[in-house]
């Protein structure tokens, strides 16, 4: 049985057409105008550099542009505005003299400072008097100065003192890093960093930790390193010893070389003679590091005890004394003519005194009358041959020698 015919109360739409319509409604939207965008160049600005706020997707044939500080339209925050039709630029209350607005809407800010950090808004007036706005950001960072390392004790004693090194100045948004002897810090229980790594503590310092130290600072726009800093670690100096080429030397010969032996480095050396600082004579020379003393030629004045002293800025130590003996030979040839003459005259005087003494003895022991003849006998008397004294043996002739030199002969006549 067929259903009764009659007008349809509804028109049925095929399902496939309905699905197509829904799809079209879902994926199709009416065309819209692209919004302007702001690009900051460079994105991270260093203090003192120039920054551009580039305007993109600006409406065609705009009536003008305006830039404001902040994120809202406030005439008190107007930086600069530009009218295209008249090519007229008007400066606002916040214009600092460093801003320039280009005809395409781009804003240039020269020599930015950290005070320039913040938001900037562009207002575009279209030809239909509608407006578009967009906001950009400027981030200005400090160019880090050269850091400086300071120490609470620049001359610590080894195995005794603790040193605190600080990297300054302290700046915000800055990271710190330390180097020792051009290497990153080794792992050590005696090297301690503060939480912000700006302070380095060296516990019971040794000569191995004397440095040099360098601290490095970093932020988003700059990196800076300090000058090297070296600790002057003080330590007890070991006793040196002395070595000599010859402990006994003949005068006017040489050279004699004395050497101060020490294992210490970075020390100064001083020489002593008989417990006093050695005064260098023309015959003495020191090596460039003062560790060697050369005497050439040697004089008898150089005989005595020598010592060397090594020292650093903390203390000093002396070697034991080393005695230098200087021998010499008496040389008659070296006597002058005056000395020889004086010796000869002295001998002759002695001989003359002996002759006078002989005459005196003869006069007192003889039996002659008071008047005597010339000579040592009685003057004015005739003396018989029988009364003459018996002949005496010949008196020897004396000569005096000094070295290879001989005096004139002298005759000594002894009368009795």
Q: What is the pLDDT of residues 128-162, one digit of tens each?
A: 999 999 999 999 999 999 999 999 998 899 999 99
Percent of the chain scored above 70 by pLDDT?
Answer: 77
CA nearest neighbour of 210 among 143, 149, 146, 163: 163
Rounded CA gap, 29 and 9, in Å?
34
Contact 298/252 with Cβ under 8 angstroms? yes
Q: What are phi and psi of 281, to 5 degrees?
A: -90, 175
| pLDDT (0 to 100) of residue 130 | 93
Determine the Cα–Cα distance for residues 403 and 220; give it in Å rounded to an integer: 97
Q: For the domain made up of 37-141, give the CATH fold.
A: Immunoglobulin-like (2.60.40)
What global pTM score does this model have?
0.54
Q: Under CATH, which number does the domain 241-327 receive?
A: 2.60.40.10
Whether 400 shows a pLDDT value over 80: the answer reads: no
pLDDT digits (tens, 9 = 90+) for 81-135: 999 999 999 999 999 999 999 999 999 999 999 999 999 999 999 999 999 999 9
CA–CA gap between residue 54 and residue 37 (Å, rounded): 8
Q: Strands of 191-193's sheet, edge to edge?
A: 148-151, 163-168, 199-202, 191-193
| CA dist., res. 318 & res. 237, Å (int) | 10
CATH (residue range 148-225): 2.60.40.10
Residue 223 sits at φ, ψ, to 5 deg, of: -135, 135
Q: Which residue has the tokens 């005196």?
A: 360
Lowest-confidence region among 6-20, 29-43, 223-237: 6-20
Check: CB of residue 289 under 8 Å from CB of residue 335.
no
pLDDT in tens, 65-88: 999 999 999 999 999 999 999 999
Q: Alpha carbon of 329 to those of 245, 256, 310, 409: distances in Å?
A: 22, 19, 37, 29
pLDDT band at 240 (very low <50, low <70, confident <90, very high): very high
Tell me, what's the pLDDT at 114?
Answer: 92
- Ranges of CATH 2.60.40.10 domains, the chain: 37-141, 148-225, 241-327
């Amino acid at each position: 049985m067929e259903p009764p015919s009659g007008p349809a109360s509804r028109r049925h739409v095929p399902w496939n057409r309905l699905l197509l319509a829904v799809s079209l409604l879902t994926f199709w939207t009416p065309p819209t105008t692209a919004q302007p965008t702001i690009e900051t160049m460079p994105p991270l600005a260093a203090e003192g550099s120039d920054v551009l706020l580039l305007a993109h997707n600006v409406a065609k044939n705009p009536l003008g542009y305006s830039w404001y500080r902040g994120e809202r339209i406030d005439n008190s925050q107007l930086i600069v505005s530009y009218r295209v039709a008249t090519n007229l630029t008007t400066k606002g209350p916040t214009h600092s003299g460093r801003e320039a607005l280009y005809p395409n809407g781009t804003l240039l800010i020269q020599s930015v400072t950290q005070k320039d950090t913040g938001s900037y808004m562009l207002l575009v007036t279209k030809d239909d008097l509608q407006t578009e706005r967009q906001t950009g950001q400027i981030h200005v960072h400090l160019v880090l100065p050269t850091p400086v390392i300071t120490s609470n004790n620049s001359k610590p004693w080894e195995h005794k003192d603790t040193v605190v090194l600080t990297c300054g100045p302290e700046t915000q948004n800055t990271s710190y890093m330390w180097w020792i002897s051009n290497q990153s810090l080794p792992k050590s229980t005696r090297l301690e960093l503060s939480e912000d790594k700006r302070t380095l503590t060296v516990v019971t310092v040794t000569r191995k930790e004397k440095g040099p130290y360098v601290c490095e600072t970093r932020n988003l726009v700059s990196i800076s390193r300090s000058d090297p800093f070296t600790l002057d670690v003080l330590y007890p100096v070991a006793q040196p010893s002395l070595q000599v080429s010859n402990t006994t030397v003949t005068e006017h010969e040489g050279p004699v070389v004395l050497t101060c032996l020490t294992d210490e480095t970075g020390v100064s050396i001083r020489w002593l003679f008989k417990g006093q600082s050695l005064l260098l004579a023309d015959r003495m020379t020191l090596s460039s590091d003062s560790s060697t003393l050369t005497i050439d030629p040697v004089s008898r004045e150089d005989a005595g005890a020598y010592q060397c002293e090594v020292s650093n800025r903390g203390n000093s130590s002396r070697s034991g004394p080393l005695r230098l003996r200087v021998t010499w030979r008496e040389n008659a040839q070296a006597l002058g003519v005056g000395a020889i003459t004086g010796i000869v005259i002295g001998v002759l005087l002695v001989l003359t005194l002996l002759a006078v003494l002989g005459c005196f003895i003869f006069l007192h022991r003889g039996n002659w009358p008071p008047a005597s003849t010339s000579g040592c006998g009685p003057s004015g008397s005739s003396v018989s041959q029988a009364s003459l004294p018996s002949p005496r043996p010949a008196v020897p002739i004396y000569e005096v020698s000094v070295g290879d030199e001989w005096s004139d002969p002298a005759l000594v006549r002894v009368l009795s």
